[in-house]
Structures are given as C-alpha cells and as structure tokens.
Structure 1
Amino acid sequence: RAFLAVHLNEGRLARDESLDNLMEALSKHLRPSQSDKAESAPVMERARDFLHVLMATDVSLDELASYTGIDRFRLTRQFKRTYGQTPHAYLIRLRLRAARALLAAGKPAAEVAAEVGFSDQSHMGVWFRRAYRLTPAAYQRLCTNLTD
C-alpha cells in the first residue's frame, strides 16, 4: 500500500498513513511493543476539527500532528481508536458528505470536486463509486429527478 500510495501520487495524508503503517509493521520486529497512553478527548477533537477546517486542502499527517502536539504515529492510533477510522479515511468521508450535499444542490461535478478537496472530478468519482456504488452524475440525477 505504501508503494502504491507514493507512486500513484495519492494525497499527502494517504501517503503519510501508508508509510506509517509500513514503519509500524517493520518496527515490531525491532523492539517490543509499547502500549500507548490514551490521549485526551480534546486532543482528538482538535485533530478532527482541523480536518473539518482544512477539508479542501492537501493536509499532511505531519501538519495534523504538529497542530495537535503529538507525534504522527500516536495520532493515527488514537484517532482510529476514538473515531473508528484513520485521519485519511475520516477526511475522505468528510469530503464525500460535502460532495453529496453540493451535488444534490445541482452544482456541476467538476466544481464540487475542486470545492471539497478532491484532485479532480475523476478522483472524486472513484471514491464516490467506492462508497455509494453510484457515479456522482447518477447520484445527482436521483436527487434532482423528483416528481411534484
């Protein structure tokens, strides 16, 4: 996954998480496992709020860690423990939710993709189909094709 994330030019957060997962898997062979002390809820809320504010930008895990004041490895583990998904997965879901609202309002898919932070319309389409099993255009038709 790390190789593909780097070589397929995924977003910075996706690349960072993939590389961190690789490092964590490799580091288990170098030292005994250490338990994490749970971070306080306010720190994880800060991380979540940071993603909400910067949803449309290419956020890196280092930026998120710097903002919260904890290292990126602990941040990823604690975020996943708190919200049930990694920061990157959370960001994608956040973008998809915003995209759904904009598409339902009748905005063109290309504008929606740029506004919510996907690199282009095609990238949004890939994630949209993966999450909802519909293309953005099909979703938009379903939302706007209502009878009176």
Structure 2
Amino acid sequence: MTDEALRWRASDRVEARATALRGAILVDACSRRSFSRHTHDVFGIGVVLGGAQESASGRGLVRAEAGHVISLNPGEVHDGAPLGDGPRHWRMIFLDPEALAQAFAGNGVSAGTELAFPVLPRPLARHTVLSLQQALLEPVPDTLAIDGLLVEAVAHLLDRDEPLRIGPADPVWPARQAIEDDPAADRDLAELARMCGLSRFHFLRAFRAATGLPPHAFRIQKRLQAARRMVLAGLPLSEAAAAAGFADQAHFTRHFVRAHGHTPGLLARLARGSGKRPL
C-alpha cells in the first residue's frame, strides 16, 4: 500500500495509513504545529518518537517526551503544542471502541472503562505499543499477535485502583446526549439549557466544567466526528459536510485541519485506496 503524506511546511508532515485491524488507522506525524482544543470519538494509543509536547488531557496538563506512551479516550478534550525549537514526532493508532472491545474484555473490564494514563513513561509499555504498530502494518498480518499486543497495550494503560467509566455523571448530560445524537441540529442555548433544567448562565458554566468546551465548540467536535465517519464510509466531502451540519465543504475542511493536522481529502483517499473501510 502506498503511503500518502500531506506536507504543510518543510518541517511538517502527517501520514495516515490503513491497518490490518478493522477500525484502526495509524497516523505518523512530525510537526511544530500547535493543535487547538478538540476531541475524537475514537481511542488513541501512541508513542512520542522525538521531541516533546505539552497538552491538556482528561487528567490535567501533561508533558510527553521521546519514549513516552501517550493515549486518549473518546470525547476527551485535548490539545498539543511542541516544547523547544524543533518539531515533535509521534506515531498514534486511532481505534474505534469496537476495535478495543476485546482488549478491554481480555483485561476483565467493561468496554466503558477509560484509558487512565495520557502519558506513561514506561519502557515496557513503549515496546508493546511499537510492536503493536509494526504488527498492524505487516503485509501478512498475524491476527493472534495483534490481539495479544492489543490486550497488553490496554493493560499498561489501565488504572486498576481507579476504574473510570464514561456515562451520564453530570447535570448537563441531556444536552450532551442531544448534541451527540444529532450534531447537525441547530439548537440554541435556551433549548439546551431547558433540557437540563438550568438557566443559560448556569448551563454554560456546568457544560464547560463537564466537557472542557463551551456548547458550540462541543457541537463542532461532534460534527467533525460524524463527518469523518461519513467520509470513511465513502460519502463525498461536500455531502458529508452538509449532512454533519457544516455550512459548506470549506467550513468542514477548516475545522478538520485544526483538529487533525491534515485535510479530509487525505482521509477520503486513504479510505478509497485501502480497499476496505478502516472505521
């Protein structure tokens, strides 16, 4: 399979590859780009290969350096900025929840459990994740090896003493769920606040405290995630943008680049060229 790279500047590159595992895409990036606060609807497990970065995470501000394992959960608000003068280099596997379901089960926890460590400076964990990435790219994939390495990678990232679960644990859950169910809907602040039985002022404060984002930014992230799924399923970019609630394709592309570092066109070419639907 031919790799496709998008080069924004001479020092920046982002490569995305389909893998042997349905529901998993590998992204290799070397960049000085600072990413704005955003979320994904998938898990991410990766390794910083060079340089360093500082980022917000579900557990506060974290610093990741070369050799550290990094992870994120669906819906986790995060950003990222390089530390120092040069770029940082990371390689990340993005996996939809179904792709990790067996790995969670293999560790005796439910699929709603969160990965607990946004940064993990553990050599054995790094070796496991790098081995998993390599196994996913083998021309003749070894399913047994991939399954085993996934279970091991998840095991490193679980906090056995503090199982965290994704669920309706905040007062703005009805509004969050409404946006997630139909991100293209054009609901106003008053309507969302009424769903939660709160004034608009208290709703805004509670929503930001619960999600890390104001409602309009949260909706943009959910629209991006919906459009991304449609693009991977083969829908043309303009149609995916409209169906997800964006004003037009340019509006979609602008927000997508801010969150992912590459255009949705690259994602579309990846889906077409892989011969299979990775997500």
Instruction: For 1:78, give the aligned amino acid.
Output: A
Distance of 2:233 and 2:182 partners within structure 1: 22
Q: CA deviation digits over 1:73-100, x for unaligned, max 9?
A: 1111111111222111211111111111
Task: Within 5 Å, give how 1:1-148 maps onto structure 2.
Answer: 41=169, 43-146=171-274
Q: Which moved more, 1:70-79 or 1:60-69?
A: 60-69
1:36-56, Cα deviation, whole Å (9 max, x unpaired): xxxx94531111112123311
User: Structure 1: how far apart are the matches of 2:246 and 2:209?
Assistant: 26
- Structure 1 residues 52, 147: CA separation in 2 closer, same or farther (over 3 Å shift)? closer
- Whole-Å Cα distance in 2 between the matches of residues 84 and 42 of structure 1? 13
Q: Distance in 2 between matches of 1:146 and 1:55?
A: 28
Which TM-score applies when normalising by structure 1?
Answer: 0.66
SS of 2:187's equivalent? Answer: coil
Instruction: Indicate the residue corresponding to 1:4 in structure 2.
Output: none
Q: Which has the higher helix share?
A: 1
Report the CA distance shift for 1:147/1:52 in structure 2 as closer, same or farther (over 3 A). closer
Question: Which residue is 1:30 aligned to?
Answer: none
| Rounded Cα–Cα distance in structure 1 between residues aligned with 2:205 and 2:275 | 47
Aligned to 2:252, the other structure's residue is in SS state helix
Task: Name the structure where strand makes up a greater proportion of residues.
Answer: 2
Unaligned runs of 5+ in 2: 1-167
Over the matched positions of the two proteins, sequence identity in percent amounts to 39
Q: Which residue identity lines up with residue 270 of structure 2 in the other structure?
A: L
Tell me the distance in 1 between the aligned counterparts of 2:256 and 2:192.
25
CA–CA distance in structure 2, aligned partners of residues 96 and 118 of structure 1: 9
Supply the AA of the counterpart residue of 1:99. Answer: A
AA paired with 2:254?
Answer: V
**Distance (Å, rounded) in 1 between the aligned partners of 2:229 and 2:180:** 15
- Unpaired runs of 5+ residues, structure 1, are 1-39
Q: Which segment is superposed worse, 52-61 or 95-104? A: 52-61
**More off after superposition, 133-142 vs 103-112:** 133-142
TM-score between the two structures when normalised by the length of structure 2: 0.37
The one-letter amino acid paired with 1:75 is F
